[in-house]
Amino acid sequence: MEVIIQPTSEQASVIGAHIIANLVRDNPACVLGLATGGTPIPMYNELVRMHREEGLDFSRVTTFNLDEYVGLRPEQPQSYHAFMWEHLFSHINVARERIHIPNGMAPDIVAECEAYEAAIKAAGGIDLQVLGIGSGGHIGFNEKSSSLASRTRIKTLTAQTQEDNARFFGRPEDVPMHVITMGVGTIMETRQVLLLAFGQHKAQAIVDAVEGPISAMHPASILQMHPVAKALLDDGAASKLALNEYYRWVYDHKPDWQRFVRKRSKG
């Protein structure tokens, strides 16, 4: 895994936005996999700025979100539908018909999950998947012990995840217990992964993911098997990594052609 460590989450988020913007410029009809949670918000803000100030064009982009709560209507403020419109979709020129988020109100959850997988395939697969990581190591809502080959399906949240997400709901017991999430296997089929983690409270999950043994006890650790996975971290999230200094050394010595923040030609 390529590990990129920046002093602050803001700086890391700007790099993440450049990675996505480069992809969108190189392949305007690309397929983006998107995540919710507190972590990607500054990166989405930067993408919105690039759209407004630099004309970054999302008009041909297709999106697939990782997950959604079961039983929340899209218009409920805690739903991931509402989150994505609030933080990204309302502010860029993405076409509504190319946005995909699992329907947590689907009467037949199994059929909804199968249709979601089929829609990803029909779109040609996901070019770049944005991921956060739970304090317990989940990606999407694939909690500890999830099958590392799993597909989009219903999952039951851990009490820890309900507690972590209670800030959006008021009380942990108000957080829905069930979710639809892309599976670990679904995530592993994406062509590139961008894992974002900020803050000391993510340091253990990150060391388990990046340097630990591959295990369903740390679903994010399977990303070590992904051919193009980048972990974008701030100092806090990177603080327990054994090879911390090496990752910084590598990033500082990247050849110019490998840099993500491209020099934009003048005039």
Interface residue list for ligand PGA (CB under 6 A): 37-39, 132-134
In the complex, the smallest distance separating the C-beta of residue 14 from ligand PGA, rounded to whole angstroms, is 17
In the complex, the smallest distance separating the C-beta of residue 44 from ligand PGA, rounded to whole angstroms, is 12
Alpha-carbon distance of 78 to 68, in angstroms, equals: 10
- Of 4 and 196, CB closest to ligand PGA: 196
Nearest Cα neighbor of 14 from 248, 254, 238, 262 is 262
- Of 39 and 62, CB closest to ligand PGA: 39
Burial 223-255 (b: 16+ CB within 10 A, else e): beebeebbbbbbbbbbbbbeebeebbeebeeee
Residue 197: CB partners within 8 Å, gap ≥ 6? 39, 132, 133, 205, 206, 231, 232, 233, 234, 237
In the complex, the smallest distance separating the C-beta of residue 181 from ligand PGA, rounded to whole angstroms, is 10
In the complex, the smallest distance separating the C-beta of residue 240 from ligand PGA, rounded to whole angstroms, is 17
- Of 58 and 80, CB closest to ligand PGA: 80
- Of 22 and 215, CB closest to ligand PGA: 215
Q: Which amino acid is at 216?
A: A
In the complex, the smallest distance separating the C-beta of residue 132 from ligand PGA, rounded to whole angstroms, is 3
Nearest to ligand PGA by Cβ — which residue?
Answer: 37
- Of 41 and 250, CB closest to ligand PGA: 41
- Of 27 and 76, CB closest to ligand PGA: 76
**Could you give the strand order of the β-sheet that contains 153-156, starting from the edge strand earlier in sequence?**
67-69, 178-181, 153-156
In the complex, the smallest distance separating the C-beta of residue 133 from ligand PGA, rounded to whole angstroms, is 5
Question: DSSP class of residue 266?
Answer: P
